[in-house]
Amino acid sequence: MPSTQPRHWIIPTPHPRCPQRPRRPTGAQARNRPTPPAAPRSPPRRSPRRRRASRSVQRLPRRRPSAPSARLADTVSAERSPQVAGHPSVSVVMPIRNEERHLRAAVERVLEQHYPGELEVVLSVAPSQDATLAVAHGLAEEDLRITVVDNPTGYTPAGLNIAIAVASHDIIVRVDGHGELSPGYITRAVDLLESTGAANVGGLMDAQGSTPLEQAIATAYNSRVGLGGGGFHLSDTPAGPAKTVFLGVFRRDALASVGGFDETLHRAQDWELNHRLRLAGHMVWFTPDLRVVYRPRSSIRALASQFHLTGRWRREVARRHPETLSLRYLAPPVAVAGLAVGTAGGLLGLLLRSRLLSFLLLAPAIYMVFLLGATASMRNLPPAARLRFPLVLAVMHLCWGAGFIKGKPEG
């Protein structure tokens, strides 16, 4: 039976072009060593910037380390993160898949940060059904600070660990391929890491859509009726220690201390990582000053699939960490069960002419009233988006709840 233990791999292995140097002899061994003949002068080396450019468009294979403890030592090495005028160097890691539409804008928002320290971007590209890989390589050719690596697994947590292993610096900024950082995001986050002592600093998911459907989805994301009032979805959430944040800016040594992202969790890995950070005594800090524009799914089918899978994996997180269960997570599966029983029992009551069973139809009727009331409460929502809002809410609630009831996907 395959092991179900979490796999956490985040520490880099030596690049195949950079083997370790042999040790220099010392003592008597050095004194008795014959003097080697003078070697012919080698041609001048290319600058590090030029070597980085050739590497930036190479699809690098991932190596699984055989000695985690040695990899931990490499991860927290102070030599890998020089500072520029007091500003620590940062590595922006982006796991991407099927992001042809949004990737360029996401990367441009990173490069427009004007961070005063050194900055690099690592794009971890999963197998995609669009031109994501071509867009990533094009961006790397345009800017030498961008590196492209492969994520053959196709899953986000593995892609993050691969990118972190390749990253050069000790501050790790996580960005998604459909997320756009607000101006000054990285500078503000690094300042908060220093002033609060937190292991992870993050802020708001500012969902924004362009089509009426995307606008309806974004409104649901940013409201209490959509996702139950999660802290990083609401702009009125106060700054301070938090259970989790959207994306995040991490200290690399803190990530190493808890083993990085759990690659056995294909969804909800951010929340689970922050939970382990807090259990290890680290602080997770939220501030509404940090905003990331999030581009939601563009179709009902994609939205349903997203929330169904998220619900299934959230059930797995609850199984591993039962102390984290709350009413917010239990409400959708309870609603799904209640609606299923109410609808089936009510229809059966109509067939059998049973007044008692027919009263069960109140459950779906009450839910419909809730959807209409929630839609009416949404101000400044364009008419076309308002028409789609009840359907969006129902899909988010019921697909998440059904996924939670079904549990972790096989394989």
Q: Look up the CATH number of the domain holding residue 237.
A: 3.90.550.10
- Indicate if 258 and 365 belong to the same structural domain: no
pLDDT band at 284 (very low <50, low <70, confident <90, very high): very high
Closest CA to 168 of 249, 241, 81: 81
DSSP-derived secondary structure letter, 219: H
H-assigned helices in 199-299: 212-221, 224-227, 252-258, 269-279
For residue 57, what pLDDT is reported? 34
Per residue in 106-162, pLDDT tens?
A: 999 999 998 999 999 999 999 999 999 999 999 999 999 999 999 999 999 999 999
If asked whether residues 293 and 328 sit together in one domain, one would say no
- Which residues have a Cβ under 8 Å from the Cβ of 234 and sit 6 or more positions away? 204, 222, 224
Is residue 71 scored above 50 in pLDDT? no
Q: Is residue 363 part of a domain?
A: yes
What DSSP line would sit under 161-205, residue for residue? HHHHHH--SSEEEE--TTEEEPTTHHHHHHHHHHHH--SEEEEEE
Q: What is the pLDDT of residue 398?
A: 96
Same domain for 127 and 87: yes
pLDDT for residue 9 is more than 70: no
CB 401 within 8 A of CB 332: yes
Name every residue whose Cβ is closer than 8 Å to that of residue 399 and which is 6 or more positions away in sequence: 303, 304, 305, 307, 308, 311
What is the Cα–Cα distance from 155 to 35, expressed in whole angstroms? 54
Across the chain, mean pLDDT equals: 82
Q: How many CA atoms lie within 13 A of 408 on its CB side?
A: 13
Rounded to 10 degrees, the C-alpha dihedral 59/246/155/393 comes to: -130
Which residues sit opposite 174 in a β-bridge?
Answer: 93, 248
Establish if 3 belongs to a structural domain.
Answer: no
User: C-alpha dihedral over 362, 364, 369, 372, to 10 degrees?
Assistant: -170
Q: Are residues 231 and 370 in the same domain?
A: no
User: Residue 241 has what DSSP assignment?
Assistant: E
Positive or negative torsion for Cα 363, 369, 375, 378:
negative
292: β partners: 181, 205
More confident residue, 285 or 79: 285
Residue 388 contacts by C-beta under 8 Å, 6 or more apart in sequence? Answer: 212, 213, 216
265 inside domain: yes
pLDDT at 56 over 50: no
Instruction: Report the number of distinct structural domains present in the chain.
Output: 2
**Torsion-angle region of residue 183: left (phi > 0), alpha (psi -120 to 50) or beta?**
beta
Percent share of the chain, pLDDT over 90: 65
pLDDT surpassing 80 at residue 1:
no
Q: What would the two tokens of residue 171 be? A: 């501050």
Is pLDDT at 61 greater than 90 in this prediction? no
* Listed residues 264, 298, 332: the one ending a domain: 298
Alpha-carbon distances, residue 121 vs 117, 168, 171, 339, 388 (angstroms): 13, 10, 12, 47, 37
> Is 77 domain-assigned?
yes
Q: Looking at the structure, do residues 233 and 336 belong to the same domain, yes or no?
A: no
Q: Assess whether 106 and 169 both reside in one domain.
A: yes
Q: Global pTM?
A: 0.76
Q: Region 302-309: what's the mean pLDDT?
A: 96
Would you state the pLDDT for residue 87? 85
Q: Are 131 and 156 in contact (CB under 8 A)?
A: no
Residues 143, 253: one domain?
A: yes
Q: Which residues contact 178 (CB under 8 A, 6 or more apart)?
A: 99, 101, 102, 106, 294, 295
- Token readout for 237 is 């959430």
Q: Is residue 43 part of a domain?
A: no
Same domain, 78 and 118: yes
356 lies in the same domain as 236: no
Give backbone dihedrals phi and psi of 410, rounded to 5 degrees, phi first. -75, 150
Dist CA 225 CA 221 (whole Å):
9
Which domain range does residue 382 map to? 324-406
Residue 342 forms part of a structural domain: yes
Same domain, 272 and 330: no
CB-based contact 125:96 (threshold 8 Å): yes
Residue 356 lies in a domain: yes
Are residues 257 and 374 both part of a single domain? no
Residues 204 and 241 in one domain: yes
Q: Which amino acid is at 227?
A: L
**Is 94 among the domain residues?**
yes
**Domain stops at, among 281, 298, 315:** 298
How sure is the predictor about 49, in pLDDT bands with cuts at 50, 70 and 90?
A: very low
- Share of residues in the chain with pLDDT > 70 (%): 77
- H or E segment at 28? helix 27-31
